[in-house]
Structures are given as C-alpha cells and as structure tokens.
C-alpha cells in the first residue's frame, strides 16, 4: 500500500510544482487559486488511495470466500445439505451421489472412497429387489443403513461443519 502512496504523492507533488511554477505569485487571487489547486490534488490523491485500499480489502474477503467454497469440506456439506432421503429411491440416489462426490475427490480422500464403494456394493445399492415383499423390506433396511453410513462419512469429511456462506455480504 505504501508503494502506491509514494507514487501518488510524488506524482501529485510534481503536478502541483509545475502548476505553481506557471501561476503568477504576485496577486492575492493567484495565491487562492494555488491553494485551491493544491487542495484539489490532495483530495484526489487521498480518494485514489482510499479506493485502492478498499478494493484490496474486498479482494482479500473474496479470496477467503473462494477458499471456503473450493474446499472439500464445504462441498461435502453441500452434498449433505441438498440430499433428500425420505424414499428408497432417494436413499439410493444419495448413496450414488455420495460415491460420485467421493470418486471426484478420491485424490484427497482415497481410503474413504474405496471403503464407501465397497460398502455401497455390499449393501446392494445397485440391486433392485422389488418383487417379493420380504426382499423389498430387507433392501429398504439395507438402503437406509447405506444412506446413514454415507451421511456419517460425509459429515466426517465436512468436519461436522454446516457451512453457510452468505451471499448478501459479498455484493
């Protein structure tokens, strides 16, 4: 910030020096013009520096927001936040969406992805047993267990945080 301040003050003082050289110093009126001109230059330089400092603060705040939004913890919390799990189909969809999320981030959480994939396959997420009532009941329980396990896994990845990034403060 001080590098810009030195440049602006140097430029402003250089312009003020040139103008003062050109203005006649003999009369009272020319002294007022000179004082007014110097004041205008100082106000313009101050305003410029204030705008620079404010834009740097806004950029820093936006950078922090981008870090939060791009973090895997935030993304995991968004998967949890947007998941519906009231029906068997929604539970199956949640498990598959969780697997897709983990696969996309398997470089960051390789063991979690491998374990979740094995668990999802073992719990019969890809099977559809709708013909017999008892098979359907067992599959419903299995899907509920799988969805609960994925919820716990994603909650652990998100560090238990329910990130809430307000969009009103960034406008």
Residues sharing a CB contact under 8 Å with residue 49, sequence separation 6 or more, in sequence order: 1, 4, 5, 8
Q: Is the pLDDT of residue 17 over 60?
A: yes
pLDDT at 171 exceeding the cut of 50 = no
More confident residue, 38 or 115: 115
Q: Identify the residue with better confidence: 156 or 2.
A: 156
**pLDDT at position 155 over 80:** yes
Given this model, what pLDDT does residue 168 score? 40
**What global pTM score does this model have?**
0.54
- What confidence tier does 66 reach under pLDDT thresholds 50, 70, 90? confident
How do residues 37-53 score in pLDDT, each as one tens digit?
Answer: 777 877 787 788 888 88
* Cβ proximity of 74 and 148 under 8 Å: no
pLDDT at 26 over 80: no
- Is the pLDDT at 165 greater than 80? The verdict is no
Confidence of residue 106 (pLDDT cuts 50, 70, 90): confident
Strands (DSSP E) found in 51-91: none
The 8 Å CB, 24+ separation contacts for 160-168 are 161/73, 161/77, 162/77, 162/81, 163/68, 163/73, 163/74, 163/77, 163/78, 165/65, 165/68, 165/69, 165/74
What's the chain's average pLDDT?
77
Task: Kindly list the distances between the CA atom of residue 32 and the CA atoms of 27, 35, 45, 119, in Å, as whole numbers in the listed order.
Answer: 9, 5, 20, 83
């Amino acid at each position: 910030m001080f590098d810009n301040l030195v440049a602006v003050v140097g430029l402003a003082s250089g312009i003020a020096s040139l103008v003062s050289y050109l203005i006649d110093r003999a009369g009272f009126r020319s002294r007022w013009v000179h004082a007014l001109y110097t004041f205008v230059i100082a106000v313009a330089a101050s305003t410029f520096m204030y705008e620079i400092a404010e834009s740097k603060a806004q950029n820093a705040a936006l950078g922090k927001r981008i870090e939060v939004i791009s973090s895997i913890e935030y993304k995991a919390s968004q998967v949890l936040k947007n998941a519906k799990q009231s029906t068997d189909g929604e539970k199956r969809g949640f498990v598959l969406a969780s697997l897709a999320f983990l696969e996309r981030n398997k470089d960051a959480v390789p063991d979690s992805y491998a374990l979740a994939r094995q668990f999802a396959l073992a719990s019969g997420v890809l099977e559809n047993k709708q013909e017999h009532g008892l098979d359907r009941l067992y599959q419903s329980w299995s899907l509920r267990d799988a969805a609960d396990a994925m919820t716990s896994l994603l909650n652990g990845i998100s560090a238990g945080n329910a990130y809430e990034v307000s969009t009103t403060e960034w406008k």
